[in-house]
Amino acid sequence: MEQLKKRKRWWYAVFLFAFFLAVLEVTGRIYLKYFLQKSATPKFRFNSFRIYEHVPGFREGDKSGNWIEINQQGFRRSSDVLMQKPLNTLRIFLMGASSAHGISSAAPFPVRHIYNNETIDVFLENLLEKEFKKKNIEVINAAVTGYQFFQQTNYLMNEIVKYDPDMIIFFDGANDCYMSNPAYNYFDWNKFQFWKKRLQQPSLSGIFDYAMLWCSKFSAFARGYLSWKGIKEAENIASVNPPHIKDANGKTLLQNHQQVVLKTWLPVLQTNFNILKQHKIKTVFALQPMLVLRNQAL
């Protein structure tokens, strides 16, 4: 009799635990779908060269249709792109981060992405088709949310140049150009370094995060947890190693920013230009003037 009671208590505990996990998962899916308007499945996966990349074939939307589609090559494009450029084709790549990708921003802007037919590359493609009617025009959105210039260097060398583009347009800057701390270490202090400690110093909390990373492939709760954890740890890195200095003196702020530019992302930008020059690919840089936007006195 006592043995039967113990079994019942054990099964009851298992039921409660399973019920608790089910509630967390349902809550996570509801929060992602109806409050954040995000997919329950992850949009990104690890990439050994550029830290992370799009999951090929990712879709996000509702019953009315998808507002974001990632093709099998990882580009924000509804149709796939052949690596071998078709004859009589003008092929342009748009690279950058969230602005080029077409992601939403903070309030009061919408939470979800804009639709694939509303992005910069689509408008440019339509304009060029009208201008060059005898050519096949491809403007391909290869922007990835959160990217910095140094990630694009690896993206160019390992993937983009293989598609034989005629031109690359960089619409970028928000994640690089706002830095104004001369002591900032561009490569070592970037916001993606929060996994370094976990990999070099394994711990129980790290093992939990590894498990949640695996679960995020199919669990909305795990995906939400990792997003929250990543944001918090990126904020912690920024508080210890601030990328910019708050200074009421506009002149000092501008001088600091110029030091950072010469030491950090400008050499990377030059590297990207040299890579494309070597491959005889035309280059356009459209940099977002973040320092000016942050301080109207400048």
Q: Residue 105's pLDDT is what? A: 54
Q: Residue 132's pLDDT is what? A: 92
pLDDT tens figures, 46-78: 888 888 999 999 998 888 788 899 999 999 999
Q: What percent of the chain shows pLDDT beyond 90? A: 35
Report which of 163, 224, 170 is spatially closest to residue 41, judged by C-alpha positions. Answer: 224
Strand 59-62 relative to strand 65-69, pairing: antiparallel
Q: Residue 255's pLDDT is what? A: 84
- What tokens appear for 251 in the block? 């002149």
Q: Residue 291's pLDDT is what? A: 61
- What tokens appear for 171 in the block? 């619409």
Rg (alpha carbons) of the chain, rounded to whole number: 23
Please tell me the pTM assigned to this model.
0.85
Query: What's the pLDDT band for 297 if we cut at 50, 70, 90?
Result: low
Q: Residue 159's pLDDT is what? A: 95
Q: Which string of DSSP letters, residue by residue, matches the chain?
A: -HHHHHHHHHHHHHHHHHHHHHHHHHHHHHIIIIIS---SS-SEEEETTTEEEEPTT-EEEETTEEEEEB-TTSSB-SS---SSPPTTEEEEEEEESHHHHT---STTS-SSPPPGGGSHHHHHHHHHHHH-TTSEEEEEE---TT--HHHHHHHHHHTGGGG--SEEEEEE-TTTTT---TT--TTTSSTTGGGHHHHHS--HHHHHHHHHHHHTTT-HHHHHHHHHHHHHHHHHHHHHS-SS---S-HHHHHHHHHHHHHHTHHHHHHHHHHHHHHTT-EEEEEE--HHHHH-TT-
Q: Could you give the CA distance from residue 238 to residue 63 in angstroms, rounded to a whole number?
A: 39
Q: Residue 287's pLDDT is what? A: 84
Among 78-92, 99-113, 196-210, 281-295, the minimum mean pLDDT is found in: 99-113
Does the pLDDT value for residue 293 go beyond 60?
no
Q: Residue 223's pLDDT is what? A: 86
Q: Could you give the CA distance from residue 223 to residue 237 in angstroms, rounded to a whole number?
A: 21
Rounded mean pLDDT of the chain? 85
Q: Residue 104's pLDDT is what? A: 62
Does the pLDDT value for residue 294 go beyond 70?
no
Does the pLDDT value for residue 188 go beyond 90?
no
Q: Residue 169's pLDDT is what? A: 97
Q: Could you give the CA distance from residue 272 to residue 267 in angstroms, rounded to a whole number?
A: 9
Q: Residue 166's pLDDT is what? A: 96
**Angle CA(179)–CA(184)–CA(186) in degrees, nearest 5?**
80
Q: What residues pair up with 169 in beta bridges, in sequence order?
A: 94, 284
Query: What's the pLDDT band for 190 if we cut at 50, 70, 90?
Result: confident
Does the pLDDT value for residue 292 go beyond 70?
no
Does the pLDDT value for residue 3 go beyond 80?
no
Query: What's the pLDDT band for 284 if we cut at 50, 70, 90?
Result: very high
pLDDT tens figures, 100-152: 998 865 454 556 678 888 899 999 999 999 999 889 999 999 999 889 999 99
Query: What's the pLDDT band for 32 if we cut at 50, 70, 90?
Result: confident
Q: Residue 295's pLDDT is what? A: 56
Q: What is the mean pLDDT of residues 255-279?
A: 90
Q: Residue 152's pLDDT is what? A: 93
Spatial neighbors of 257 by CB under 8 A, at least 6 apart, are 179, 180, 291
